[in-house]
Structure 1
Amino acid sequence: MTDGFGQGWTVAYNGAGTVYLATATRDTFFIGSCIAFPWSAILASSSPAWGSTTRQEVPGVPPIADPIASTRRLGENLAMPILPKERDPRLITIRRGGSLTDEDHHLLAEWAALCAEHVLPFFEDACPEDARPRDAIAVGRAWIRGEVPMRDAHRTAFVANAAARGLPDPARFAALAAGQAVAVAHVAAHYLGAAAYAIRAAAASVAVGNAEGARLQELGWQRERLPATLRELVLEDQRTRNDICWGVFTG
């Protein structure tokens, strides 16, 4: 199962009926919320936990009692597909066969960064020492300026996603918004994911009875900051993808 960016793990299987929550970047494999192994160490390892048919449980990492249900919940809560099965060519760059110019790609990336940045305090209040989501937004802006290659920006999305694990919803969604924002460098259509997660963060930060008002307020704040040249495209995209974005763009 992928993590919503088209690559990376959400579960790891130890060969003995035990499944663990996991994820991966190009360089590192993560198990649970805090254990990380370089790929080189994994590939070179002869540990029974990795390299033999008689496998051991990974020390310190509790197995998932119901891996299928847990994987489904992970997909629903962390990696619901923001991207449609059929991509809008207006959100695909010219070099990839679409019609999106670099200038408009950068405008979408900056708007996504604004959306994610607006709810970043929800994360930083919960995790004041964790700079990963803020750094991810900065990397996205560095990509806009031409200072960071797309591949580096794409990898940073996984780092921001990892910061979301195990947190209350407002902080979790704020971190995921940052991950989506920096992922715009790789796939422009992720811009809407940044906006959607930011709205979810705002709605989750208030009492249930006030959530709808908070959702509409955040949605309005975002729309006021849409680039004028892209406003109609984004509003149409919100209507088209609303169902796979938790309905947050209704209104």
Structure 2
Amino acid sequence: MKPPKEYFDLSIETLRLLGGWAADCAERALPIYEAAVPGDARPREALEGIRWFAGGGKRIAKLRVLALDAYRAALESPHPAAAAAAQAASLAAASAYTHPFADVRQARHILGPAAHAALAVETHPADPQRGDELIRWAAEQAPRAVRELLQKMPPQPQGKTRLDQLLLALDTELRQKR
């Protein structure tokens, strides 16, 4: 039997700050997607949607649609870097729906936009240092409210993939910044 979920307060203002930061992170990889798949605006539209919410718009179902559309763009992309960039946009749009309970998967909703953007920039061209730089940049840019939200979640586990490593690196950086 699973232990009960540990819930906490999560304000709409914190979700807005998270959404704005997530969009900033994902946007750094967006040109990779747009160069690989010209004419497909789904990831850009997802970022526009979350920016609208972050700027004071209502949390409406359209954000979920935009996030799913960007996710489909990631699945359809023939280029790994472009797919990671679209996934970053998808997760950024979905950040408005982060749930207020302590769960490692919910923590990935916080970390995912930056980690996927880092994966995109280091994949195109192949240069892991670029991904590490984006992770450091994201940690520096994170609002205090985002760091505090992450503190309520369990830390990321060690993983085997490069994405897992990027998630863990960002998680560690954000938890160390006070």
Q: How far does residue 232 in structure 1 lie from its aligned partner after superposition?
A: 5.1
CA contact (8 A) 1:206 1:214 kept: no
Q: Which has the higher helix share?
A: 2
One-letter identity of the residue aligned with 2:65: R
Matched, 1:246 2:158: no
One-letter identity of the residue aligned with 1:172: A
One-letter identity of the residue aligned with 2:164: W
Q: 2:117 aligns with which of 190, 198, 202?
A: 198
2:43 maps to what in 1?
A: 133
CA contact (8 A) 2:84 2:119 kept: yes
User: Structure 1 residues 107-116 or 181-190, which shifts more?
Assistant: 181-190
Q: 1:167 aligns with which of 67, 78, 82?
A: 78
One-letter identity of the residue aligned with 2:165: G
- Superposed counterparts of 1:19-58, under 5 Å: none
Structure 1 residues 120 and 166, CA, compared in 2 at 3 Å: closer, same or farther?
A: closer
Q: Return the alpha-carbon distance in structure 2 between the equivalents of residues 226 and 87 of structure 1.
A: 30
Q: Give the greater-gyration-radius structure (CA).
A: 1
Q: Return the alpha-carbon distance in structure 2 between the equivalents of residues 123 and 222 of structure 1.
A: 19
Structure 1 residues 183 and 229, CA, compared in 2 at 3 Å: closer, same or farther?
A: closer
1:134-173 C-alpha deviation (Å, 9 max, x unpaired): 0111011222334354311012111001112132111110
Task: Report 1 or 2 for greater relative contact order, CA contacts < 8 Å, sequence distance ≥ 6.
Answer: 2
One-letter identity of the residue aligned with 1:150: I
For structure 1, which runs of at least 5 residues remain unmatched after alignment? 1-84, 90-96
2:130 maps to what in 1?
A: 214
Q: Which has the higher strand share?
A: 1
2:9 maps to what in 1?
A: 99
- Report % sequence identity: 32
RMSD over aligned Cα atoms: 2.7
Q: Return the alpha-carbon distance in structure 1 between the equivalents of residues 53 and 124 of structure 2.
A: 30
TM-score, with normalisation over the residues of structure 1?
Answer: 0.55
Q: How far does residue 242 in structure 1 lie from its aligned partner after superposition?
A: 4.9
TM-score, with normalisation over the residues of structure 2?
Answer: 0.75
Matched, 1:186 2:105: no
Q: Report how many aligned residue pairs link the two structures.
A: 156
One-letter identity of the residue aligned with 2:66: T
One-letter identity of the residue aligned with 1:157: A
Q: How far does residue 240 in structure 1 lie from its aligned partner after superposition?
A: 0.9
One-letter identity of the residue aligned with 1:134: R
1:74 maps to what in 2?
A: none
Q: How far does residue 174 in structure 1 lie from its aligned partner after superposition?
A: 0.2
For structure 2, which runs of at least 5 residues remain unmatched after alignment? 100-105, 174-178
SS at match of 2:57: coil
Q: 1:123 aligns with which of 33, 49, 53?
A: 33
SS at match of 1:240: coil
